[in-house]
Chains A and B, each alone.
Chain A
Amino acid sequence: GAVVSQHPSWVICKSGTSVKIECRSLDFQATTMFWYRQFPKQSLMLMATSNEGSKATYEQGVEKDKFLINHASLTLSTLTVTSAHPEDSSFYICSATAAGEGLTDTQYFGPGTRLTVL
């Protein structure tokens, strides 16, 4: 149980285009979803926290107009990288926490999406 999927697993785009990444909780309802960014050989950096039906909360230094997050349902959150540039190339990972006793605060991670901006 507690499986999180991401789509696509990798994407290559031209500079200036926008890219949408989906994060889905497959077998549970996600009260909260998180978006992380991971650079090679580095740790995960939290970008934003989103709750279903609410505006996302962005971490300091993360441009909310560039990284648009929508959490339209309890099983789906999307991250849109707008007007992508080469410096946005990275590994984007989502995670989700589930409602229910013993599950709160344990995050279940998706497999990540490799974004390469040319």
Chain B
Amino acid sequence: AQSVSQHNHHVILSEAASLELGCNYSYGGTVNLFWYVQYPGQHLQLLLKYFSGDPLVKGIKGFEAEFIKSKFSFNLRKPSVQWSDTAEYFCAVNRGNQGGKLIFGQGTELSVKP
């Protein structure tokens, strides 16, 4: 079945460690890719998105993601995490012909130890 997969369910890091969260999707054709973050008790916020162009996308709060079409991947990275990055991270895919419909990955819970 077509899907969005996030490899890690729960990631625990110390402050200043580097972060990489995996996201793979199985749709062919044109896709738009998103990473959303959900801080404890808050609503989902857009971190970054890729529609076209430079496959390395920079988002808010020092996050970036790289679209690798051949690997159907859109991994999220941050060179140095902070305690305030503790949150749930969701990868989502929108197929270009689906009118904005988003399919979400399972989510990755990130815990950053101070």
Contacts and interface: CB of A to CB of B under 8 A. Distances in A.
Interface of A: 4, 32, 34, 42-46, 49, 93, 95, 97, 104-112
Q: Point out which of A42, A105, A108 has the most chain B C-beta atoms below 10 A from its C-beta.
A: A105
A34 B94 CA distance: 13
B49 A106 contact: yes
Given A32-B99, A49-B99, A105 B104 contact: no
B26 to A, nearest CB: 15
Contact of B43 (A32, A34, A43, A110): A110
29 contacts: A4-B43, A32-B99, A32-B100, A34-B100, A34-B102, A42-B107, A43-B90, A43-B104, A43-B106, A45-B104, A46-B102, A46-B103, A49-B100, A93-B44, A95-B44, A95-B102, A97-B100, A105-B32, A105-B51, A105-B94, A106-B49, A107-B46, A107-B100, A108-B46, A109-B36, A109-B44, A109-B45, A111-B42, A112-B43
A8 B99 CA distance: 28
A43 B100 CA distance: 18
B101 interface: yes
User: Chain B interface mostly helix, strand, loop or mixed?
Assistant: strand
A82 B100 CA distance: 27
B39 to A, nearest CB: 11
Nearest to A105: B100
Interface in B64-114: 90, 94, 99-107
Contacts of B100: 32, 34, 49, 97, 104-105, 107
A4 B103 CA distance: 20
A49 B34 CA distance: 18
A107 to B, nearest CB: 6
